[in-house]
Amino acid sequence: MAARQIVIGIDSSTQATKALAVDVATGEVLGEGRAPHTVRGTGGARESDPEQWWQALCTAVAATGHADRAAAVSVAGQQHGLVALDAAGVAVHPALLWNDTRSAPEAAALVRELGREEWARRVGSVPGASFTVSKWAWLRAQGLTSGVAAVRLPHEYLTERLTGQVVAEPSDASGTGWWGPGGYDAEILELVGLPVELLPPSAEAPGSGAPNAKSPAIYAGATLQGSASQLPEPLMAEGVLVAAGAGDNAAAALGLGLMPGQAVVSLGTSGTAYALTRGRPADPTGVVAGFAAADGVHWLPLACTLNCTLAVDRLAALLGRDREAVEPGGSAVVLPFLDGERTPDLPYASGLLHGLRHETTGGQLLQAGYDGAAYALLTALDQVLAAGAEPESDAPLLLIGGGAKGRAWQQTVLRLSGRPVQLPTATELVALGAAAQAAALLTGEAPAAVARRWQTSAGPVLDPVPRDKAALDRIGATLAAAGGLLGV
């Protein structure tokens, strides 16, 4: 009997690194590992030590129990983060995470400089505080860029530690604000004072040809040993193939084997809504980001909200209730913008409670928190679909992420979307997408085809219910009237 081929997919997220050891032939998860990250910062600051990411990667991969048998590996990572390194590859400043909003003034200044239409035309997105270009501008304004010899995104940093080489993989590069279909935008880099020599070589944009096993969209290199990477020798052999990796949402799309016509809502610390398109989106409102997909063929228009499960869990804690202890009814509206907000673009916002009455219960307040978070996300999805995605009329909404396991989240999305909802049973889809990309190096298949062969999107479908228009109108009216209370 032929020996089993094993790959490892890694998800380096905001809070932790997760690793899956996966059977290439069947998609069976053979082992899992996890190690936490520390996120520091108050106010708008959110920072992490990249060296901790590397140690967490080594710990999580070892915990799968199959590291020494892996034939290929891939790292997907949180998008937009900025890792500034010195000539020795050591971070000169803690990495700025995607949800660090201190660069909101720099983002606004950059938008004024070029205009929304021009940003959308050139890089597919209008930068906000989340984008890497704004973060670099902030670092520069703070005088923190001296001694920087390399600028990396989180997954690029980890892939380079594994292989000693790096390439700007399109799905992640397209979230920087300085990369477009032609590669790096020289004028934008000059605008923010970032020498192109500090960045990885630029890969090709989607649509430039079907990727193969050695294309930059898929292949990064092979693992090193010794001082080049500090990879613990018992952990993984030298010469293991390493895929190019991806941004986290693009990896999740790979992990689902996503096809055009399917729409996804992901419920995590942040919320995201996305779909595949053939054409490159360019939304001048800034709601929809024109990211590249990780399959090397499509684009992945995506909208993101900062406040999702974490905000609702915080509200539950304040109320002293279990997160599932919701109750129907009431007139309260909660806009849970506890960390500012990205969609809608309210970086200085705080949470807002409106419509409180004597008869309002704690469970109704908690449900209002769910409704407010889901409203922002589903409104964003409508704009994603308007940006060029063409969903099949009867295709269920794919609901993924940690929140998708909760009945309260499921029922809220059903009630406010009016659509059937499918709940894929596969978990850790970002790591699974990375595993599919690694497997493609061995089989020659397209990574999404690997995931479809593994049937990763299979799961129960919840029948649609009538859309709760009264709740949607109530939330929309409150948001429209809030104005200065939200820091607009």
d(CA 214, CA 211): 8
With b meaning 16 or more CB within 10 Å and e meaning fewer, what string describes 180-209? bbebbbeebbebbebeeebbbebbbbbeee
> Which ranges of 247-302 does DSSP label H, i.e. alpha helix?
248-256
| Cross-strand pairs, 97 | none
Helix 362-386 with 469-482: angle, nearest 10 deg: 80
CA distances from 185 to 78, 191, 294 (A): 22, 10, 20
d(CA 331, CA 355): 6
With b meaning 16 or more CB within 10 Å and e meaning fewer, what string describes 11-47? bbbbeebbbbbbbbeebebbbbbbbebebeeeebebb
> Which ranges of 84-169 does DSSP label H, i.e. alpha helix?
104-114, 116-123, 132-141, 154-163
CA angle 460, 395, 265 (to 5 degrees): 70
d(CA 135, CA 192): 10
Cα-Cα-Cα-Cα dihedral of 43, 45, 51, 54, to 10°? 90
Contact 98, 79 (CB under 8 A): yes
d(CA 188, CA 445): 36
Would you please indicate which residues are annotated as catalytic (active-site) residues? 248
